[in-house]
Amino acid sequence: MKFKILLLASLFIQTACTQYFEKVQPQDIRSSVDFLSSDILKGRETTTEGELVASQFIKSKFIKAGIQPYFETYFDSFESKGFKGVNVVGFIEGIDPELKNEVVLLGAHYDHIGMGDKVQNDSIANGANDNASGTASVLAIAECLARLGTNKRSIVVALFSGEEKGLLGSKALSKKLKSQNIDLYTMLNFEMIGVPFTNRDYEIFITGYELSNLGDKLNSYTNSSMVGISDVAKKYNLFKRSDNYSFYKEFKVPSHTISSCDLTNFDFYHHVDDEIDQLDFVFMATTINKLIPGIMQICNTDSKEIQMYATN
């Protein structure tokens, strides 16, 4: 009888983890993107005051969500190629005595290029899609996971500086975590997730789809076909062009970027018209809400089901 009770309790917790959570609302995502892409931040270029203000905003979101700092403080400074940047790194400890030693890392870069070519007296490259959208998505997902508190594995939530300068923040953090010998299970990076595709049979793609079974597992975990392969992303090797690649290089574990934009459906990459009014927040919230159960499964399976097929 005791075994049956424990089994039922376990099944209930698993069901709760994968089905029942407070849905992310479009206005929640919009609020974060609105601040991060506002003119007052002047494009969030690395080392500028605008980027510093963005980092403080991210810290405030962590504190409000009850996400603890991973290091002594939320800010993890680095210096590379003459730039002094700061990653903002939070932590949601796992609840399983053994699995909590394994880490799932959720990341996105919060910096952008600062100023761009002037268009109609506007020279601020606000970076709403690139990458306020990814930052806002990670913050919303992390808040949901922290609120639930049912993750067996531990979760590191990292918002990177210096991506636009050559993946500087993620390179620094990945090397630091590697030196600490953490057991990184998988890294999910969010990049340009603010606009939907048209005429495709999937909503999002992962870079380097063929390198691991992450895409297949996310579709299985979410009981959907939401994750697909972008031939454009493969052609331009986008797997190596965002912060996921830093963690792949150091750890050789499944580390992919999740995106809904391979530039065939967005005309304002590194352009001053990458503004909030270009984004579809209903799409973003719907996508995030479909992804969350899959991420929860990644955090809670008894074994490491996400595996590499090949190295790149």
What phi and psi values does residue 158 have, to the nearest 5 degrees? -125, 125
Secondary-structure percent of the chain, ordered helix, strand, coil, rounded to 5: 45, 20, 35
Predicted pLDDT at 21: 82
Domain hosting 64: range is: 2-300
pLDDT for 6 equals: 40
Residue 306 belongs to some domain of the structure: no
> Which CATH number characterizes residue 289's domain?
3.40.630.10
In angstroms and rounded to an integer, the radius of gyration of the C-alpha atoms of the chain is 19
Give the Cα separation of 51 and 48 in Å (integer): 5
What does the alpha-carbon distance between residue 71 and residue 99 come to, in Å, rounded to a whole number?
20
Q: What φ, ψ does residue 20 adopt, rounded to 5°? A: -110, 105
194 vs 142: CA distance, rounded Å:
18
Run of H or E residues at 232: helix 231-235
Is residue 148 in a domain?
A: yes
Q: Please, which residues bridge with residue 187 across strands?
A: 105, 255
User: How far apart are the C-alpha atoms of 239 and 275, rounded to whole Å?
Assistant: 25
Asked whether residue 305 is assigned to any structural domain, the reply reads no
Flag whether 311 is in a domain.
no
Q: Long-range contacts made by residues 213-216, C-beta under 8 angstroms, separation at least 24? A: 213/254, 213/305, 213/306, 213/307, 213/309, 214/186, 214/254, 214/256, 214/306, 215/256
Task: Note the pTM of the prediction, 2 decimals.
Answer: 0.93
Q: Indicate the SS3 state at residue 15.
A: helix
What is the count of structural domains for the chain? 1
**Residue 1, pLDDT score:** 52
How deeply is 302 buried, as exposed, middle or buried, from its count of CB atoms within 10 A (0-12, 13-18, 19+)? exposed
Q: Splitting the chain (312 residues) into consecutive groups of 10 residues, what average pLDDT does each group show? A: 44 49 95 98 97 98 98 98 96 98 98 96 97 98 97 99 98 98 98 96 97 98 98 96 98 98 96 98 98 98 94 74
* 308 within some domain: no
Cα Dmax for the chain: 73
Contact assessment for residue 113 and residue 125, using Cβ atoms and an 8 Å cutoff: yes
In a domain, 187, yes or no: yes
Quick check: is 28 in a domain?
Answer: yes
Residue 180 placed within a domain: yes
